[in-house]
Amino acid sequence: MDNLSIRVEEGELRGLIGPNGSGKTTFINLLSGLYKPTSGGVYFFGKRIDRLSPEDITQGGIMRTFQVARLFGDMTVLENMLIPAFTQGTSRREATRRAKELLDFSLLGRLSHEPARILSGGQSMLLQIVRGFMRQPLRLYLLDEPFNGVHPTIKEVMIKTIQKMNREEGISFLVVSHELTIVRRLCSRISVLHAGRLISEGTMREVANDPLVIDSYLGG
Amino acid sequence: MENPGETRIRKFKGVSLLLAGAAGAGLLPFWTGQYYQQIFTIAFYYVALASTWNLIAGYTGQFSLAHHAFAAIGGYASALWVIHAGFPIWTGILAALLSSTLMGFILGVLCLRMRAIYLAIATWAFAESVRISLAMAYGITRGDLGLAVPKVFLGTGRAVACYYLFLGLATATILAVFLINRSKMGYYLRAIRDDEMVARVMGIKTTRWKIFSFVISSGIAGLAGAFYGHYNGLLTPVMVDFNEMAFIVIMVVIGGIRTISGPVIGAILIEILTETFREFGEIRMVIFALAVIAIARLYNEGAIGTVRLFAQWMSRR
């Protein structure tokens, strides 16, 4: 990361794009506390969080997903869902109710009692996203390449779930993706990274016409 | 499964099954002689050790090689307390619980941030240090000559009384592990084993829960060690030989790691086999080790998994 400054507004759906190796995942690792910045800081609702542990950052209302779905494979789909709720002290009854509601909406309900390891790649990615919604209140959700290699039907479910949670619960999203069609559909503003630097920011139309972006990412 | 009502039913079923098993085991002394009562008494001691090692290694994924050392710490703490302070045995057992818990906490804080192989090496080094210290502190522990420990339940009927004492210890241990596994803590421990980084991102304070499970396991191991010392009447540093740790691992793997009943079946089975084939000496360990390799390579569900498969096969017929 090099002199990078990005500000995500409350309730915003922000896209983060850029060529491979531009630092998108590193940026998410910094925000979620897995990496510590050597200089500069990360602020969340005015509070500096870059010195906090990943678990404390999560407790503060930030969740994330990983590029390759990382689930608790030996646990069932439902058990995977319960964990984020348990860590914030939600009762088993309330956690189960919300988990079932979310799983049904994302069409994973019938798999509730199956071990997570048997899910397909797309289902795993979907579960990884839905699991994050178990944290309440969730204020910022960092999605790292959530649509990568996912079947179009599941992608559609993901998009609808993200839009619903943004609309109904006011969750802000930072979506890292190479799927520009989806990013255009989902996100009102887009930030473009190149070699660890922010090279452009604005609506999809604005960044798509930015010569720097065309030169370094979109090609022209 | 996670519906609260269903969870309660499963918990009730599990506890009922455990109590029924304990009640069944409670009838054994009526049909067996002193020899088998003694074998089962020792088997119950290993049930406590195997079940608690399964909690840290099986459920939490922390491969500690110091579990036998905590049993020794408990055993020696209680014995020395009773011998030197002259207090009753039950206070010694409390001292054992406290000392092994405290040592578990200290070792946990020092080692549980380490990853797999480093944790195994560090805990093994700790266990070896305990063994060497016990051997060298001749003035206090009488070293390799062994420490004569005041026994519990003197007189006739001792074997039966000890049998029930150790049965109670094993039952309480299994119950504790079962309840932990069904609680929120159980979810955290399994999540940590599956993927520690994701567990942290989910908000689980992983180090805290790892230490907590380590402390509980060490405490119960120390308690079991104290019971063992006051039952056997003699403690030597042999208690901390690596063979002892290997036995615990063998019991858990052969019985079925990451299950409640696996370590119970494994401990009883291995203890009976060890006694039955006593004349084969160290060869027994070689055979057990080969069985562990075969199970780890071919079918890691162990004996309990085989029983389940058989039950499923029977129900389909």
Distances from the Cα of A45 to the Cα of A10, A139, A166, angstroms: 9, 10, 18
ipTM of the shown complex = 0.91
The CA distance from B67 to B52, in Å, is 9
Helix ranges (DSSP H) in chain A: 24-31, 54-59, 77-86, 92-105, 121-132, 152-169, 180-186, 204-208, 211-213
Using a CB-CB cut-off of 8 Å, the residues of chain B touching A86 are 184, 187-188
Judged by CB atoms closer than 8 Å, whether chains meet at B2 and A32 is answered as no
Say if residues B265 and B256 touch (Cβ distance below 8 Å).
yes
pLDDT at B10 (0 to 100): 79
Say if residues A54 and A33 touch (Cβ distance below 8 Å).
yes
Of A70, A73, A87, the CB nearest to B203: A87
pLDDT at B1 (0 to 100): 46
Query: Residue A220 is inside which H or E element, if any?
Result: none
Judged by CB atoms closer than 8 Å, whether chains meet at B195 and A76 is answered as no
The CA distance from A100 to B8, in Å, is 18
pLDDT at A8 (0 to 100): 93
Say if residues A32 and A142 touch (Cβ distance below 8 Å).
yes
pLDDT at B309 (0 to 100): 83
pLDDT tens readout for residues B8-46:
787 788 888 999 999 999 999 999 889 999 999 999 999
The CA distance from A21 to A31, in Å, is 17
Distances from the Cα of A49 to the Cα of A16, A44, A60, B301, angstroms: 21, 7, 9, 43
pLDDT tens readout for residues B62-88:
999 999 999 999 999 999 999 999 999
Question: Does B3 score more than 70 pLDDT?
Answer: no
Establish if B184 touches chain A: CB-CB under 8 angstroms: yes
User: In chain A, what are the helix, strand and coil shares in percent, each to the nearest 5?
Assistant: 45, 15, 40
pLDDT tens readout for residues B172-210:
999 999 999 999 999 999 999 999 999 999 999 999 999
- Of the candidates B307, B277, B270, the one whose C-alpha atom is nearest the C-alpha of residue B292 is B270
Q: Is the whole-model pTM more than 0.95?
A: no
Q: What would the DSSP string read from start to end of chain B?
A: --SHHHHHHHHHHHHHHHHHHHHHHHHGGGTS-HHHHHHHHHHHHHHHHHHHHIIIIIIS----S-HHHHHHHHHHHHHHIIIII---HHHHHHHHHHHHHHHHHHHHHHHTTS-HHHHHHHHHHHHHHHHHHHHH-HHHH-GGG-EE-PPSS-STTHHHHHHHHHHHHHHHHHHHHHHHHHSHHHHHHHHHHH-HHHHHHTT--HHHHHHHHHHHHHHHHHHHHHHHHHHHSEE-GGGGSHHHHHHHHHHHHHH-TTSSHHHHHHHHHHHHHHHHTGGGTTHHHHHHHHHHHHHHHH-TTHHHHHHHHHHHHHHH-
For β-strands A13-17 and A172-176, DSSP reports them as parallel
Other beta carbons within 10 Å of B187: 25
The CA distance from B57 to B190, in Å, is 10
The CA distance from B148 to B164, in Å, is 23
Say if residues A63 and A98 touch (Cβ distance below 8 Å).
no
Judged by CB atoms closer than 8 Å, whether chains meet at B2 and A76 is answered as yes
Give the pLDDT band of residue B4 (cuts 50, 70, 90): low
Question: Does B236 score more than 90 pLDDT?
Answer: yes
Using a CB-CB cut-off of 8 Å, the residues of chain A touching B190 are 72, 74-75, 79
Question: Does B282 score more than 90 pLDDT?
Answer: no
| Residue in chain A lying closest to B7 (CA) | A92
Establish if B191 touches chain A: CB-CB under 8 angstroms: yes
Segment B154-176 shows an average pLDDT of 91
Using a CB-CB cut-off of 8 Å, the residues of chain A touching B203 are 55, 58-59, 84, 87-88, 135
DSSP bridge pairs for A142: A64, A174
Of A55, A70, A73, the CB nearest to B203: A55
Which regions of chain A are under pLDDT 70?
220
Helix H, strand E, coil C: the string for B170-233 is HHHHHHHHHHHHHCHHHHHHHHHHHCHHHHHHCCCCHHHHHHHHHHHHHHHHHHHHHHHHHHHC
Q: Please, which residues 241-280 of chain B have a Cβ atom closer than 8 Å to chain A?
A: 258
Establish if B194 touches chain A: CB-CB under 8 angstroms: yes
Give the percent of chain B with pLDDT over 90: 74
Say if residues B252 and B266 touch (Cβ distance below 8 Å).
yes
**Cis before B263 (ω within 30):** no
Segment B90-110 shows an average pLDDT of 96
Please tell me the distance in Å from A155's CA to the nearest CA on chain B.
23
pLDDT tens readout for residues A112-167:
999 999 999 999 999 999 999 999 999 999 999 999 889 999 999 999 999 999 99
